[in-house]
Structure 1
Amino acid sequence: MDDILKRRFDWNLLHTFTVIVEERSITGAANRLLLRQPSVSNALKRLEDQIGARLIDRERGRFEVTEQGLALYHECREICGAIGRLSDVMQDSGGQLTGHLHLWMASHVVFPPLDDALFEFNRGHPRVTYEINVATSAHVVSQVLSQQASFGICLVNEQHPKLEYRRLYREHFGFFCGPTHHLFGRTDLTLADLRHEAFVSFSTDQLSDALAPVAVLRAREGMKGKVIATSPHLEEVRRLINAGLGIGPLPIHVVKNARDRGILWQLPPYDAPPAIDIYLVTNPRMSLGRAERFFIDNLTSRLDAAPDGFFIYS
């Protein structure tokens, strides 16, 4: 954009465009924005005219974001995220700490130091508010990258160069089956006994994804049983295992109580199970409010108590 265009640019058009892409329709965007459909269509046309490029192909029932549109959308998410956070940043005045913590995390995060940090922070700063969302690790990273989240806690397969990562803890995954499964209660099993069993797992149980160590073990041991059910969420994977659909991986420390009560049965390997690291993900380009900075400092300071700078659960 030239200088004149920058001065005259209507930044509300970017927000409207972002919603259109996310809803994948003009009608859906109008409903979400509480606007009339012609108003949203006109906003898209004005944006395309100002930028001088077609952003969405909508001819003959098609809805396809163009290459220029995708590039703009990724920038819009970060811009809209920063604008949406202005009120939180500007609340950092006065003697008592205020602000809003927006945390995104993976579904199976069980980390007692996080619970302790939330308790103590709320007790010391009761005017701070909180919002926690659960999503896949990839989506968590996306939210932090676009500045929609104060920070994220998730599995990490490949570190994004624009983000910062601090390892919080290491958890170990075991294979489990439910009470109705034919392997339940057996103590004489080896990995060879699992090779042809039907399998339930996470959507990220792939060699190129966050649960790669689990996928590597399955491949190495020739576990070629059919994967009959997947989910990105721990509770749903656990439900499928409990229902007897197949064997599957779960974080050992998360399901310890269920294992001890006989609701789940742990299968091989008993020694050196796959290890997964969980990270705190932050965006160094994001202007954090005082509440966000203090909470992150509070949480990471607890890592000093761990021998290796992070906690290990097995």
Structure 2
Amino acid sequence: MTKSEIIRFDGRSLFAFCVLAEELHFGRAAYRLSTSQPPLSRQIKQLEEWVGTPLFVRSTRVVSLTPAGVVMYEQARQICADLEHMLRATRQVARGDAGTLSIGITPSAAHSPLVESLHSFRRDHPTIELDLREMDSVDMTAALLARQLDAALMRPIVQSDKIKTMPVYEEPIVLVSRTESLFAGKSVRLEDIARHPLIGYDQSVSPYFAEMVEGLFAKANIRPNIVQKSRLPSILTLVEAGVGVAIAPASMAQAHTAALTCRSINAANMPRAQVVVAVSKDATNPLIHSLVGALLARRSSA
């Protein structure tokens, strides 16, 4: 079949051929096709002329397939099924009901309720495939702009006017220490924290938490005793090893081993750790809207 023949091909005629091949009766086939017998007869005749051979044997009593018609019906039935599948899949994607979503997620949100939100989204949209990629927030803006990610669940450190963000989760930050630490009570003051070795955040990898912790002590005019800087979740491993204490988002701290304990921090205007969903403003994947809508709806109902 040449390209010009493919261009001339009429899918409606192929479908009509399949219906007639199944019914072997022009009246019943015309009824299924919501047409009358004369237009159907003309359509089949045109198809036969295009193929170059008779496809049906017609008599006053019987309609049957020719040997060529039998071969064509076997192929045409599969083609029609494939076309139906193609249209259904295409329309699902256009509605945001199917396809693949590449989502970046910051490690510090891996133990937050956002993971359950993603599970619920996947359960409610079983035809959508989620490609989850754990990445540092500092790397996600470039990945979104390069279209390596469709969406990112990250800390609010976006520095591009081509990216839009919406908060989807926030939680308290807490003091994390070994369970046998010298801290007493369920809460602790910044002054007490400053008397102990503190594991801080590496500005180049975790600028959001680095600025949050430094700002917290700066506003209180207190100098913390930062003995080492790292990133989550390595910071919690250092706490467990006895290097010092740390300030971390509650969900991640609580998900760590039983060797660690969390205490609220008693300070004025305590900040809360935010996670935002970030997407490129010129993103074309229609599934993004379904994801963002689900995350925002879950946040508003929480």
What is the TM-score normalised by the length of structure 1?
0.57
Distance 1:219 1:131, change over 3 A: same
What is residue 203 of structure 1 aligned with on the other side? Answer: 202
Q: Any idea what SS the aligned residue of 1:119 has?
A: helix
What is residue 225 of structure 1 aligned with on the other side? Answer: 225
- Give runs of aligned pairs for residues 145-156 of structure 1, distance below 5 A: 145-156=145-156
What is residue 273 of structure 2 aligned with on the other side? Answer: 276
Matched, 1:237 2:235: yes
Paired residues of 2:144 and 2:151 also in contact (CA < 8 A): yes
What is residue 108 of structure 1 aligned with on the other side? Answer: 108
- Tell me how far apart the structure 2 counterparts of residues 150 and 162 of structure 1 sit (CA, whole Å): 13
What is residue 127 of structure 1 aligned with on the other side? Answer: 127
**Unaligned residue ranges in structure 1 (runs of 5+):** 1-89, 307-314
**Letter of the 2:103 counterpart:** L
Q: Any idea what SS the aligned residue of 2:208 has?
A: coil
- Tell me how far apart the structure 2 counterparts of residues 267 and 130 of structure 1 sit (CA, whole Å): 35
What is residue 160 of structure 1 aligned with on the other side? Answer: 160
The structure that has the greater radius of gyration is: 2
Q: Any idea what SS the aligned residue of 1:255 has?
A: helix
Q: C-alpha displacement at 1:201, in angstroms? A: 2.8
Q: C-alpha displacement at 1:102, in angstroms? A: 0.8
Paired residues of 1:198 and 1:227 also in contact (CA < 8 A): yes
Distance 1:91 1:198, change over 3 A: farther
Deviations 1:149-186 (A, max 9, x none): 010011113542111111112222122211354x2446
- Tell me how far apart the structure 1 counterparts of residues 92 and 188 of structure 2 sit (CA, whole Å): 62
**Letter of the 1:283 counterpart:** S
**Unaligned residue ranges in structure 2 (runs of 5+):** 1-86
Q: Any idea what SS the aligned residue of 1:147 has?
A: coil
Distance 1:113 1:139, change over 3 A: closer
- Give runs of aligned pairs for residues 61-100 of structure 1, distance below 5 A: 93=90, 97-100=97-100
Q: Any idea what SS the aligned residue of 1:148 has?
A: coil
Which of 249, 252, 257 is the aligned partner of 1:251?
A: 249
Matched, 1:305 2:301: yes
- Tell me how far apart the structure 1 counterparts of residues 133 and 142 of structure 2 sit (CA, whole Å): 13
% same residue: 16
CA RMSD of aligned residues (A): 3.3
What is residue 39 of structure 2 aligned with on the other side? Answer: none
Q: Which has the higher strand share?
A: 2
Distance 1:217 1:148, change over 3 A: same
Paired residues of 1:91 and 1:98 also in contact (CA < 8 A): no
Distance 1:91 1:292, change over 3 A: farther
Deviations 1:59-110 (A, max 9, x none): xxxxxxxxxxxxxxxxxxxxxxxxxxxxxxx995155843111111211114
Deviations 1:202-260 (A, max 9, x none): 32499x931222211123442331332412x2x3221111221101111124434669x
Equivalenced residue count is 210
**Letter of the 1:297 counterpart:** G
- Tell me how far apart the structure 2 counterparts of residues 160 and 224 of structure 1 sit (CA, whole Å): 32
Paired residues of 1:180 and 1:244 also in contact (CA < 8 A): no
Paired residues of 1:100 and 1:292 also in contact (CA < 8 A): no
Paired residues of 2:164 and 2:281 also in contact (CA < 8 A): yes
**Letter of the 1:251 counterpart:** P
